[in-house]
Amino acid sequence: QVQLVESGGGLVQAGGSLRLSCAASGRIGDITVMAWYRQAPGAQRELVAAIYVSGLTKYADSLQGRFTISRDRIKSSWSLQMISLNSEDTAVYYCSATTPWGKNWGQGTQVTVSS
């Protein structure tokens, strides 16, 4: 089991930036993929960005290079740097950690972009 806690969400004006962080504890040595998802009201949860233990990263095509995922070496934390935010980025953001036994989720952090 891996426990995850997100931080860094909040209210930001359109065009602004935010940095989300995810702190992991428990069996962090089992983590193979660290990721961020988001869920807007009335929408399905979608992948925002992922980073693999190899360092390979993957992003949603719709982001157009505005978000950057990074992690520390021991996989105990990872972050999502978001710039040029717009109202379509308003959502609850969840961090996730994939292990051989399944995917673990944080409780989510709200990001609201005001226009």
pLDDT digits (tens, 9 = 90+) for 79-94: 999 999 999 999 999 9
Beta bridge mates, 31: none
Tens digits of residue pLDDT in 23-78: 999 999 999 999 999 999 999 999 999 999 999 999 999 888 999 999 987 769 99
Residue 94 to residue 113: CA distance in whole angstroms: 17
